[in-house]
Amino acid sequence: WASAVIRPSGWLEILCVSSRARHELELSRHIAAAKPGHPGLEYVRLVQDSFEILGPSGPHLCLVYKPMREPLWLLQRRMPGGVFPMKLLGFVLKFLLTGLSYLHNECNVIHTDLKPENVLVGLEKTLSLEDVVADEINSPSPRKILPDRTIYLSRNDFGRPKLSPGRPKIADFDAAVRVTGSQKTFTHPIQPNCYRAPEAILGAPWSYPVDIWNLGTMLWDLVEGRALFDGADSTHRGEYTSHAHLAQLIGLLGPPPKELLARGNQTGIHFAADGEFLALCSVPYRTLADTVTKIDGEEKEQFLHFVNRMLQWLPERRATAQELLDDPWMRSLPI
């Protein structure tokens, strides 16, 4: 649950969360201390404070954050046609890449769970939290009263921004990992299904480039209003399978390099010894250009060049966050 309190410095949001909160709290402290003053720190949502309360199951850790407007997916729903205009996309992407560059280069942190739900948009200057509180007092939200507590319905529908929304921040670090001197790569399962990087699907060692792939695929949600890959398997009642996901990757990017296949502990499930795909489902062939319908002309060509630098089979061939910030398409956007 969440609630808002007032301190002399302004508003704060309090979240009571699961045991994974301790990991987020420790990581947040590390991120905040890595390089204070770095511009990317502003685009990462950090824990401001913490405390414990006694709940039915024992002590419960509560994390305190500065309040944000809403997640990126909700802002997207407010856009005409449910897609981001290029100006707003550039605004969001520039700050996400700046934050991601800080996490990778200064904090040695891999997020592993980038998705529209985990990018929060800041409050615009014209939105007053005092007005929101007054509305709640005058017209209380629905609630359910139980013997030991009251459950409140969140009041978070601020409507479409009257001006540009506040700057976005990367949030939710409970699945993030920290790269140390003793461990440079990882192999445990990560990422939401449709955003999973090839190395994560194949059970190969992964590192910072999984975030680049993750962000690249997320752009289709924002630009097209749909996932680039959904992994829907017609042989499994349309449910997600990693095999169908790989089939979609092959249909778009061509067959994976054998050097990548050699790294994966799950490769044998999907590929023969010679690297041939075990096509248990059909391979839907298409081009990257076919998947982009909301942009055209030179702008489309620049966008395709940009995302092609992110969507590479081999993680070492993907551009870094800093390199993407310097891309001609990024520099051309009216931010």
> Which domains are present in the chain?
2-130+157-332 (1.10.510.10)
**Which pLDDT score is estimated for 171?**
97
Q: How far is CA 244 from CA 283, 334, 335, in A?
A: 8, 38, 38
Whether 96 and 133 have beta carbons less than 8 Å apart is answered as no
- The pTM score is 0.88
Angle between helix 86-105 and 209-223 (nearest 10): 170
Compute the mean pLDDT over every residue in the chain, rounded to the nearest whole number.
Answer: 88
Phi then psi dihedrals of residue 4, to 5 deg: -115, 140
Q: Of the given ranges (27-31, 127-131, 142-146, 273-277), which has the lowest mean pLDDT?
A: 127-131
pLDDT exceeds cutoff 70 at 10: no
Question: Tokens standing for 316?
Answer: 């070492």
Helices (H) and strands (E) in the chain, counts: 12, 13
**Which pLDDT score is estimated for 5?**
47
> Which of 120-129, 133-142, 194-203, 233-242 is most confident?
194-203
Type of residue found at 112: T
Burial class (CB in 10 A: 0-12, 13-18, 19+), 255: middle
Phi then psi dihedrals of residue 87, to 5 deg: -60, -45
Nearest of 20, 11, 18 to residue 49 by alpha carbon: 11
**Which pLDDT score is estimated for 181?**
86
If you average pLDDT over residues 219-247, what whole number do you get?
93
Q: Which residues are catalytic?
A: 113
Tell me the per-residue pLDDT of 77-103, one tens digit each, with 9 for 90 and over.
Answer: 888 888 888 888 888 999 999 999 999
**Which pLDDT score is estimated for 237?**
87
Whole-angstrom distance, CA of residue 198 vs CA of residue 28: 28
Tell me the per-residue pLDDT of 100-145, one tens digit each, with 9 for 90 and over.
Answer: 999 999 999 999 999 999 999 988 765 667 777 777 788 888 889 8
**Which pLDDT score is estimated for 45?**
96
Whether 297 and 273 have beta carbons less than 8 Å apart is answered as no
If you average pLDDT over residues 169-187, what whole number do you get?
93
